[in-house]
Structure 1
């Protein structure tokens, strides 16, 4: 009887730790994906902001060279 109760008490704790581990891993994966997406968006934003400036500068250089 004692062994059965301890076993019944032991299983949910193991299950809880397992689910907690899975949730934690899932959250970690989500955070990693989120960081990756954020970095991609940030790079795209930088690209969009910097590329016109670079094109403008290169056009100015070409105009100066042509003159």
Structure 2
């Protein structure tokens, strides 16, 4: 079984984010390493790729 970081990076790549979104997501999780396992768990609860993309975009959207 893969570690949470590998799973998360694989999902970010697989979901075909545009370059700036991909960089923002990687930077977000670099600065918030403790949130990686929670994010992977939440991605498992998403029903489809659109929900996964929306969830990850929400994490990097301005407050």
Bin for the TM-score computed over the shorter chain? under 0.3
Q: Which of the pair is proportionally richer in helix?
A: 1
| TM-score normalised to structure 1 length | 0.25
Structure ID, larger Rg: 1
Say which structure, 1 or 2, has more relative contact order (CA 8 Å, 6+ apart). 2
